[in-house]
């Protein structure tokens, strides 16, 4: 007779997480591996004729990292653009979101109408990025309302070509990303702050800490795990930046390819000639960079708040 050992609930745990793993393997792991596989092949379409797949070893990667006539390596330049665009948008995004999250959760301020504000700041995220970008394209074009306003009010002598100036194109992209994502970040960080034991804030108050001290000594250290999570997801999203600059610059990354991002580069390979070889190589490089950067951010941020 079998000896009764008590009920094991462990298997239910595995069963419940199984759907995620099935979906992950089918829709993430397998495509990732095939992308890696295809990055070693010459595989594209010439007109309507399929060329390849022919195994070419590391040729695609070598091509990606071959400097051009002026000695610059395209993929590094586009990686640089991506990082600049991301940092320009992400720094204000995290700072403002942190500030708003602290205001909204402060029992001292006790702001009224929080639900309203939370909804409003989240709103831009509900608009499709491409529609948002198209809107900015129209607003800031040479014949757009912004230029009309500037010229008619005398603030500018002649029409400003916002989309042909590096700083303004990059700023517009950063501004759009900021507007779309700061609400989302605020809500995440609020959840993080609300998870902190309220007694700690009260105790700090009683001990005579001022708001700044409470923020830096209590809120920030205890918020660190959520903050790290927010920054890493924002960074992965930022490295994959595509729709906003693509639509704003009509896929050209103007001016002089200075707002051309990694994924736009990938898209150029894939769009017309279905060049899975080169596009695969770009995505493999992007994957390695994302993984590396995430590890660095995770380590540095979680270490600094451990003590």
Partner 1 sequence: MKKVLSLVLAAIMVLGIASAAVAEEAAGKPFIIYAWNEEFKGFFEAYVQDALIAEGYAPQFVINPSDNGVYQQKLDEALLGDAQVDMFLAEADYIQKYADSEYTQDITKIGVTDFSNAYEYTVKAASDADGVVKGVSFQCCPSALIYRRSIAKDVLGTDDPAEVQAALDSWEKFEAVAADAKAKGYYMTASFAETYRVFSNNCTSAWVDADKNLVFDAQIEAWIAQTEKFVENGYTLTDGIWGDEKNAQMFAEGKTMCFFGPAWYFNFCMGNAQDPEKGCSGDWAICQGPAAHFWGGTWLMAATKTQNADAVAEVMNAFINNEEICSNLVAKNAQFSNNKAVNAKFAEDPEYGSDFLGGQNDVAVFAGMTDNIKWENHTIYDQLLNEGLQTNLQEYFKGVVTKDEALANFYKYVNETYPEIVTPE
Question: For residues 160 and 220, which CB has a smaller minimum distance to partner 1 in the complex?
Answer: 160
Residue 47 Cβ vs partner 1, minimum distance, rounded to whole Å: 5
The kind and range of the H/E element at 133 are helix 129-139
Least distance between partner 1 and beta carbon 251 (Å): 5
Distance CA 54, CA 43 (A): 7
Least separation in angstroms between residue 257's CB and partner 1 is: 6
Binding site for partner 1 (CB under 8 A): 44-48, 51, 68-70, 74, 141-143, 161, 164-165, 250-252, 254-257, 265, 268-269, 271-273, 275, 278
Sign of CA dihedral 297, 302, 305, 306: negative
| Structure tokens belonging to residue 133 | 């970008």
Give yes or no for a contact between 179 and 185, defined as CB atoms under 8 angstroms apart. no
Nearer to partner 1, 141 or 240 (CB): 141
Q: Could you count the other beta carbons within 10 Å of the beta carbon of residue 284?
A: 19
Q: Which is nearer to partner 1, 213 or 271 (CB)?
A: 271
CB of 259 to partner 1, least distance (A): 12
28, two tokens: 């993430």
3-state secondary structure (DSSP) of residue 45: strand
Give whichever of 88 and 270 is closer to partner 1, judged by the CB atom.
Answer: 270
Q: Given the structure tokens 């490295």, which residue do they identify?
A: 239
- When the beta carbons of 48 and 199 are compared against partner 1, the nearer one is 48
Nearer to partner 1, 69 or 306 (CB): 69
| Smallest distance from partner 1 to CB 24, Å | 27
SS3 category, 50: strand
Shortest distance, position 44 Cβ to partner 1, whole Å: 5
| Least distance to partner 1, CB of residue 260, Å | 9
Report the C-alpha gap between 70 and 78 in whole angstroms: 15
Is residue 102 a contact partner of residue 196, using CB atoms and an 8 Å limit? no
When the beta carbons of 169 and 241 are compared against partner 1, the nearer one is: 169
> What's the distance, CA 114 to chain centroid?
26
Instruction: Give 81's contacts (C-beta < 8 A, 6+ positions apart).
Output: 253, 257, 258, 259, 260, 261
């Amino acid at each position: 007779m079998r000896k009764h050992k008590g009920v094991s609930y462990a298997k239910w745990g595995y069963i419940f997480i199984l759907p995620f793993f099935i979906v992950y393997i089918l829709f993430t792991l397998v495509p990732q591996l095939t992308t890696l596989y295809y990055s070693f092949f010459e595989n594209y379409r010439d007109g309507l004729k399929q060329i390849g797949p022919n195994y070419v070893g590391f040729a695609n990667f070598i091509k990606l990292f071959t400097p051009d006539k002026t000695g610059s390596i395209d993929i590094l330049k586009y990686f640089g653009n991506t990082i600049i665009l991301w940092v320009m948008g992400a720094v204000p995004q995290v700072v403002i979101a942190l500030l708003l999250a602290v205001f909204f959760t402060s029992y001292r301020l006790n702001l009224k109408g929080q639900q309203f504000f939370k909804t409003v700041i989240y709103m831009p995220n509900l608009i499709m990025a491409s529609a948002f970008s198209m809107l900015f394209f129209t607003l800031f074009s040479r014949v757009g309302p912004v230029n009309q306003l500037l010229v008619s009010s005398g603030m500018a002598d002649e029409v400003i070509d916002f989309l042909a100036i590096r700083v303004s194109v990059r700023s517009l992209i950063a501004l759009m990303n900021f507007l779309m994502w700061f609400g989302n970040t605020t809500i995440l960080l609020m959840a993080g702050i609300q998870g902190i034991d309220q007694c700690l804030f009260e105790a700090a108050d009683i001990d005579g800490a001022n708001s700044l001290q409470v923020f830096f000594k209590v809120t920030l250290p205890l918020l660190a795990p959520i903050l790290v999570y927010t920054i890493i997801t924002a960074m992965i999203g930022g490295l994959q930046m595509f729709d906003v600059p693509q639509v704003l610059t009509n896929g050209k990354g103007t001016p002089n390819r200075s707002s051309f991002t990694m994924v736009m580069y990938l898209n150029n390979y894939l769009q017309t000639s279905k060049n899975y070889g080169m596009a695969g190589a770009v995505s493999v490089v992007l994957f390695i960079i994302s993984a590396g950067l995430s590890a660095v951010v995770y380590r540095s941020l979680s270490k600094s708040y451990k003590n």
